[in-house]
Structure 1
């Protein structure tokens, strides 16, 4: 009896530790979705570990921005877009552009995420029910409708702590799946070291890949929604230290999980000369190298990544709108339920038309980078305004980090424009 209660208390401690982690879990949910997994798989299988430096820089800047947005919210009690509108000269215009830009990027992602998740569930069903072979389109569409229906129903429950618990489950499964897969298939240490030296693959699509990487890892939605999630957690100015640890932990976990995905794809596929253009290509290419168990694990991780992203992507438009209007998010309001219903219908576009969700995913990640410079310059102005933040004004080191992040985002946005011109040219 004693060992059972000890086990229970051990699991309770682990769960308490994960839940104490708080708003950072939403950061991981936003950042690592099937879009991110797709980018990492495509990059790892096509370029090996060459783009690891982009991932590292994106995660460092993400951590800095998460910390800064959270700090501002706890010190002033204001959320991001509401503060932009209230305190900045062109704040209203900047805030509206950000709402439109981020919502567009996230809703595009949502289409791809739902398409990929439904395809993965179909592939899992196919293993056990081979008779559905000729009904791929119908099965994928039904699965997509059921998944988005369940997600919408969960949104009606509408409490921050409830959303957080669901995300904890998905993110934990995802993280463990990818990290365990890494122990079965891994790249050479020298390749990992070389990947930390900045270089852009000099091939068609190289620029697009770099922009997609940053668009998915330095996601503007992650920073903008942070003040609302920090407030939803019930944190105040007394939790500044906890908020800092939460931001650092989230950034580190995003790097570890994303790098694991890239490393698995690189170790298994890069040297075989088998670049992946679809997540489901992983089935045929990974199984001979890693075996069924690693493949199932990887699939489970990718599915959890998709499901953990659908939730925050549905939340983003009402979150930003509520932030702009009042700085308060009411998940029981009519506005919240209508906007999330529209997002659910929008998400079904890829499954209904049977389009390739992968291209949609990478394109939407590229669109995400264009809002980034606005999001960064806005918070630099706010966190350095002594009238607003008093003694909590940004330190020299934080300013260096924020300004470097701003220049990095401008370079990547320029890179994204070149990538899109190449793609549509």
Structure 2
């Protein structure tokens, strides 16, 4: 008797669910921070900043690969290894924990603000009477979303987290890529965007740094060893790890590039830059149509929800990494830190700040620990004793050096941008 062949839908579902720790990389990288930065950039400058996205994704792929390889070969996680093997390693690890947690929690405020506003706008379409209660409705939505996410964190394990992220990321990626087929920039503008240039206007440098902060996120690399271990991979999975890092970097570029391209094609030539959440509704609909608008909004919401989840995990992950290299989601420490992060997430909705502006500013804080994160792993992966005979290739080392220089330049520009902003 012949076995029934699985249908196309089942094949696609199996392929998606087979995705490895890279799904967390996409969750960390493409949130509403990334979507906001790409939308603002595309609507304001067209495809001019595409080159920043290309460079950031290239370096992100290299760093994901290097961090994953180190974990599989040595069996050690990142911060635990820094503390154990590097001079001043304990101080370096503590600075990284503080820097990343601060940057990610700042991002979380904007993400929650944007997500709550988007859900509110969807409700207003069907219940116009809610317009009189916007502030109260946004806070209530933020409280419900935060409560649900916290509950899921308390009951879940690695595989459970992975499946939830797979759903959000699949919806998000599909929404943005389908939108791209409906609204797209001119091919010449895409090619011109690959030539490095910075918009010589107020806020131009800030947006470039925000791009790097959201796309080349240190949290993505540092958390990778724990997620690789959580997946159950060993040294026999080096090829799987490499493939996973490459696929994750390509998907981050494709999805982020699609967002920028949709915003550029729909809004740039109309002279309608995005500065508020409402701008994303009112400016995109007349040009892209209701279906494309709905897809784009659905993708943005999925991006927000897919980011809230891993960002709530980041501080417990880093602290557990520093302490023992193992994450215990049932510990009192885990519950307390994630509860504090949930309260932190409510700051923007409660105080009614502009979530788009807050999101871009918050992304800048993510670049400051990047040089430290790159330098530390470069030293470790070139230690022959630690790497047990596995040699880091010259090409990867060149990539790490260039990534370090790039991160230093962006950190300097981040400081300048923040001084100009405040």
User: When the two structures are superposed, what TM-score results if normalisation uses the length of structure 2?
Assistant: 0.98
Out of 230, 237, 240, the residue aligned to residue 239 of structure 1 is: 237
Are the counterparts in 1 of residues 74 and 388 from structure 2 also a CA contact under 8 Å?
no
4+ long deviations beyond 4 Å: none
Out of 260, 266, 269, the residue aligned to residue 268 of structure 1 is: 266
CA shift, 1:20, in A, is 1.9
Query: What is the CA–CA distance in structure 2 between the aligned matches of 1:184 and 1:111, rounded to whole Å?
Result: 31
After superposition, residues 375-386 of structure 1 pair within 5 angstroms as 375-386=373-384
After superposition, residues 38-57 of structure 1 pair within 5 angstroms as 38-57=36-55
1:400 is the counterpart of 2:392: no
Alignment-derived partner of residue 96 in structure 2: 98
Are the counterparts in 2 of residues 74 and 237 from structure 1 also a CA contact under 8 Å?
yes
Alignment-derived partner of residue 84 in structure 1: 82
Alignment-derived partner of residue 416 in structure 2: 418
Query: What is the CA–CA distance in structure 2 between the aligned matches of 1:407 and 1:43, rounded to whole Å?
Result: 24
Are the counterparts in 2 of residues 41 and 279 from structure 1 also a CA contact under 8 Å?
no
Out of 203, 226, 229, the residue aligned to residue 227 of structure 2 is: 229
Are the counterparts in 2 of residues 158 and 332 from structure 1 also a CA contact under 8 Å?
no
Alignment-derived partner of residue 130 in structure 1: 128
CA shift, 1:352, in A, is 1.1
SS for the counterpart of 1:391 is coil
Alignment-derived partner of residue 73 in structure 1: 71
Alignment-derived partner of residue 188 in structure 1: 186
Out of 51, 60, 63, the residue aligned to residue 62 of structure 1 is: 60
Alignment-derived partner of residue 22 in structure 2: 24
Are the counterparts in 2 of residues 40 and 262 from structure 1 also a CA contact under 8 Å?
yes
Out of 184, 188, 198, the residue aligned to residue 196 of structure 2 is: 198
CA shift, 1:9, in A, is 4.6
Task: Map Cα deviations across residues 125-168 of structure 1 (whole Å, 9 max, x no partner).
Answer: 00011111100001100000000000000001121000000000
Are the counterparts in 1 of residues 71 and 78 from structure 2 also a CA contact under 8 Å?
yes
SS for the counterpart of 1:149 is helix
CA shift, 1:67, in A, is 0.2
Query: What is the CA–CA distance in structure 1 between the aligned matches of 2:234 and 2:14, rounded to whole Å?
Result: 20
After superposition, residues 1-400 of structure 1 pair within 5 angstroms as 9-400=7-398
Query: What is the CA–CA distance in structure 1 between the aligned matches of 2:146 and 2:251, rounded to whole Å?
Result: 27
Query: What is the CA–CA distance in structure 1 between the aligned matches of 2:12 and 2:288, rounded to whole Å?
Result: 30
Query: What is the CA–CA distance in structure 1 between the aligned matches of 2:199 and 2:351, rounded to whole Å?
Result: 33
CA shift, 1:15, in A, is 2.2
Are the counterparts in 1 of residues 320 and 327 from structure 2 also a CA contact under 8 Å?
yes
Query: What is the CA–CA distance in structure 2 between the aligned matches of 1:78 and 1:217, rounded to whole Å?
Result: 25
Query: What is the CA–CA distance in structure 2 between the aligned matches of 1:49 and 1:10, rounded to whole Å?
Result: 35
Query: What is the CA–CA distance in structure 2 between the aligned matches of 1:280 and 1:93, rounded to whole Å?
Result: 43
SS for the counterpart of 1:53 is helix
Are the counterparts in 1 of residues 47 and 193 from structure 2 also a CA contact under 8 Å?
yes
CA shift, 1:364, in A, is 1.1
The RMSD of aligned alpha carbons is 1.2
Task: Map Cα deviations across residues 105-126 of structure 1 (whole Å, 9 max, x no partner).
Answer: 0111111101100000000000
Are the counterparts in 2 of residues 380 and 402 from structure 1 also a CA contact under 8 Å?
yes
Listed as ranges, the gaps of 5+ residues in structure 2 are none
CA shift, 1:358, in A, is 1.4
Task: Map Cα deviations across residues 83-108 of structure 1 (whole Å, 9 max, x no partner).
Answer: 00000001111100000000000111
Listed as ranges, the gaps of 5+ residues in structure 1 are none
Query: What is the CA–CA distance in structure 2 between the aligned matches of 1:209 and 1:129, rounded to whole Å?
Result: 35
Query: What is the CA–CA distance in structure 2 between the aligned matches of 1:48 and 1:148, rounded to whole Å?
Result: 34
Q: Which moved more, 1:413-422 or 1:23-32?
A: 413-422
SS for the counterpart of 2:196 is coil
Number of residue equivalences: 421
Query: What is the CA–CA distance in structure 1 between the aligned matches of 2:179 and 2:14, rounded to whole Å?
Result: 26
